[in-house]
């Protein structure tokens, strides 16, 4: 008689600033998680790019990037796309009180989405990270299909506009 043992889900938490590390560790210490969690601090964009283009990254069920803008998770997703790796990436915003993380409509990646809550909001702060880990533990974060196309739609150009320009029509 053989028994099937379900493999624990591997989660990689990456913070891009050591100031967030203590907050992350407090969340991890709240309870005994049924996840294998690795925590890394990446202090440079080069480190983040190297991580995203290394084949072992595909072993992870979920990669959560903790920053204060949401730009670094999207850069990470671009690096993954360039390396042709499909990996679930979620942004966790650790902003100052009242701060907001950039949402996909503000910084879009062609055919690639950063995982958000069902209501379209980002996971925010310690409570958001806790909620995300609970959902990952229950398997509520859908894994990407290996056959999923990496690019589904053309890129959108983000253009800054000078709203004080005399050429602007009122």
What pTM did the predictor assign? Answer: 0.73
* Residue ranges of domains in the chain, CATH in brackets: 9-138 (3.40.50.1970)
Q: 72 near 17, Cβ under 8 Å?
A: no
**What are residue 97's phi and psi, to 5 degrees?**
-50, 125
- pLDDT computed for residue 102 by the predictor: 55
133-150 mean pLDDT: 66
- pLDDT computed for residue 18 by the predictor: 83
Element (H, E) at 24: helix 21-28
136-153 mean pLDDT: 57
Q: Give the model confidence (pLDDT) of 63-81 as tens digits.
A: 998 887 777 888 888 899 8
> What CA–CA distance (Å, rounded) separates 128 from 87?
20
Q: Which of 61-75, 95-109, 115-129, 134-148 has the lowest mean pLDDT?
A: 95-109
């Amino acid at each position: 008689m053989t028994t099937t043992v379900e493999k624990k889900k591997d989660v990689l938490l990456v913070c891009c600033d050591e100031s967030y590390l203590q907050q992350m560790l407090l969340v991890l210490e709240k309870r005994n998680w049924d996840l294998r969690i690795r925590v890394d601090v990446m202090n440079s964009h080069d480190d983040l790019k190297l991580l995203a283009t290394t084949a072992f990254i595909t072993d992870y069920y979920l990669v959560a990037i903790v920053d204060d803008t949401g730009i670094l998770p999207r850069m990470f997703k671009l690096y993954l796309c360039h390396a042709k790796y499909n990996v679930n990436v979620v942004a966790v915003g650790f902003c100052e009180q009242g701060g907001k993380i950039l949402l996909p409509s503000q910084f879009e990646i062609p055919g690639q989405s950063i995982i958000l809550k069902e209501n379209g909001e980002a996971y925010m702060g310690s409570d958001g990270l806790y909620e995300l880990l609970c959902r990952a533990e229950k398997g509520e974060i859908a894994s990407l299909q290996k056959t999923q196309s990496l690019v589904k739609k053309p890129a959108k150009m983000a253009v800054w506009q000078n709203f004080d320009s005399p050429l602007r029509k009122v």
